[in-house]
Amino acid sequence: MTLTERDLKVIWHPYTQMQTALPPIPILRGDGALLFDENGKEYIDAVSSWWTNIHGHANKYIAQKVAEQLLQLEHVIFAGFTHQPAVELAERLLTILPNNQAKVFYSDNGSTAVEVAIKMCLQYWHNQGVKRTKVLAFKNAYHGDTFGAMAVSGRSAFTAAFDSLLFEVEFIDLPTAENMKQLKSRISYLRSELACFIFEPLVQGSAGMIMYEAEHLNELIVHCKAEGIFTVDDEVFTGFGRTGKNFACNYLTEQPDIMCFSKGLTGGTMAFGLTTCTQKIYDAFLSTDKMKTLFHGHSYTANPIACAASLASLDIFLSSETEANIQRIVKAHQAFAAKIKDHAKIKTIRQTGTILAMEWQTGEDTNYFSSLRDRLYKYFLDAGIILRPLGNVIYILPPYCITDAQLNYIYSKITDALEEI
C-alpha cells in the first residue's frame, strides 16, 4: 500500500471534503521554500504552509536550538513553575511590541490565543462587577475554529452547522471614509454592552485577503478606547513581517490593548500561541479573592521546545538579512502586480507587504466552493507550486527566504494561467 492509501484508511484531514478531495500528496522533506514529495517532485510553498512558515522548511538554526532544548527540558507544568525559554521569549517579545504591552499569556495555537484574549476582556468587566458582555467584530472576520473564536468570526458556510450555538456578537462593516461616522455612532450606541472589539489588522486573511486602510482602523481604535471598549489586535496571521513591518499594528499610531500571535511565532516549526495585554488588564485580575483569577490554561502552556523554536525564529526574523528579504518580496510583488493589473481576467489585485492577492474574473459563482478554485489549485500543483485559492482569490505569501528565481517562476505560471484557464 502507498502512503496515500494508508492515509485514506485512517486519517480525516482538515477543511477537506474527504469524498471529493484529491488524494493527499505525501511530502518527504523540505528545504527553504521547497517541499519534496515521495517521487522527488518539488513544490514551491507559495502559501507558507497555511501562513505559518516564515524562514523556510527544515531550517537548520531552528532545528539546532530545538534539539538543544529537547535534551535540556522538554516540558514542565507551567502553573507554579517557570523556565528560561518562556521568560526570555516574553522579555524579548515585549521589547519589540507596542510599549503598552506588559504581560504575556502562553497557549498553543491561534484559536486558543484568541480564546484567551476574549476571556481576558469579558472577565475584566466581570471582575469589576460591570455587565459588559458583548464583543464587537468585523463582518467576514476569521479568528479561529474553536467555539469562542468561531463566535467572533463572521457567520459563513464554515460556521453554519453551529450558528445557533454561537454567542451573540455585534458585527460591523470594514471601515471606509464613507461609513466611518455611522460605525462610530453604532459603537457609541452599544458602548455600555461592549467588552471589546476584535479585529484582523489591515488584512482579513481567510475572507479572501480583503484589505483595508490602517488610517481607518486607527480611527476606530481611538473611538473604542474613548468609549472604554478594549481593542484586541489578532496578529495571528499578520504578525512577524507579513505586512512588511514587524507587526501590522506598527502601521497604526494608536496601540491595541491586547494582541494575539501564533502562525509565524515559531517560524512555522510547531504549534504555539500567545496573548499579550496591558498592565491595566492584568491588574484587574489581582485580588485576594480567588474568583478573580483567570482560570485558563492548557497542558502544554509555554512548552519549552516551542519557546526555543520561537526564540530561534526571532533571531532570524530580527536579522538584517530577513529584513532585506521582506523588502525584496514587497518590491517583486509590486512589479508583478503592475504588470498584470490590467489583464482582462484580473478583477482586482491587492497587496499588503509580502501578501499579494489576485481576484480572478469569473462568470460563474465566485464562492469558496467554485470549480474555478479547484481548477486553479490543480493547475499550480501540476506546475510544482502550492497555491491554495480562497474561492476565486489567488494569493502568494511565501517564506521570506524564497529566491528571486522561485518567485519569478510563480509569477510566470500565474501569467500562463491567465491565458490557459
Annotated binding site for pyridoxal 5'-phosphate: 110-111, 234, 298-299
Beta pairing, strands 346-352 & 355-360: antiparallel
DSSP 371-399: HHHHHHHHHHHHTTEE---BTTEEEE---
The amino acid that residue 136 corresponds to is: L
Give yes or no for residue 109 binding ligand PLP (CB under 6 A).
yes
Helix (H/G/I), strand (E/B), else coil: 284: coil
Instruction: Give the x-and-dash track for 267-306 against ligand PLP (CB under 6 A).
Output: ----------------------------------------
Region of residue 345 (left: phi > 0; alpha: psi -120 to 50; beta: else): alpha
Active site residue 15: yes
Site stretch for ligand PLP (CB under 6 A), options 168-176, 199-207, 302-310, 349-357: 199-207
Among 45, 115, 234, 359, the residue binding ligand PLP under the rule CB under 6 A is 234
Q: Specify the residue, 143 or 333, whose C-beta has the smaller distance to ligand PLP.
A: 143
Asked if residue 29 lies in contact with residue 380, where contact means CB atoms within 8 angstroms, the answer is no
Near ligand PLP by CB under 6 A: residue from 55, 57, 83, 143: 143
354 counts as binding ligand PLP under rule CB under 6 A: no
Tell me if residue 395 is catalytic. no
Chain positions 145 to 164 lying near ligand PLP, rule: CB under 6 A, are none
The residue annotated as part of the active site, out of 43, 142, 379, 395, is 142
- Total residues contacting ligand PLP by CB under 6 A comes to 14
* Candidate segments 104-112, 156-164, 225-233, 402-410, binder of ligand PLP by CB under 6 A: 104-112
**Distances in whole angstroms, Cα of residue 230 to Cα of each of 137, 148, 184, 257, 369:** 12, 17, 15, 6, 36
**Residue 144 touching ligand PLP (CB under 6 A):** yes
Phi, psi of 189 (to 5 degrees): -60, -40
> How far apart are the C-alpha atoms of 268 and 216, rounded to whole Å?
31
Q: Which amino acid is at 253?
A: T
Q: Does 110 bind ligand PLP (CB under 6 A)?
A: yes
| Contact residue for ligand PLP among 43, 105, 138, 142 (CB under 6 A) | 142
Q: Please report, as a single letter, which amino acid is at residue 13.
A: H
Alpha helices, H only, 129-204: 147-151, 180-190
Q: Does 200 bind ligand PLP (CB under 6 A)?
A: yes
In the bound state with ligand PLP, the residue whose beta carbon lies nearer, of 30 and 144, is 144
Please choose, from the candidates 413, 374, 415, 405, the residue with its C-alpha nearest in 3D space to the C-alpha of residue 20: 374
Site stretch for ligand PLP (CB under 6 A), options 34-42, 230-238, 373-381, 387-395:
230-238
User: Which residues, at least 6 apart from 80, have a Cβ–Cβ distance to it below 8 Å?
Assistant: none
Tell me: does residue 237 bind ligand PLP (CB under 6 A). Answer: yes
Q: List residues near ligand PLP by CB under 6 A.
A: 109-111, 114, 142-144, 200, 205-206, 234, 236-237, 262
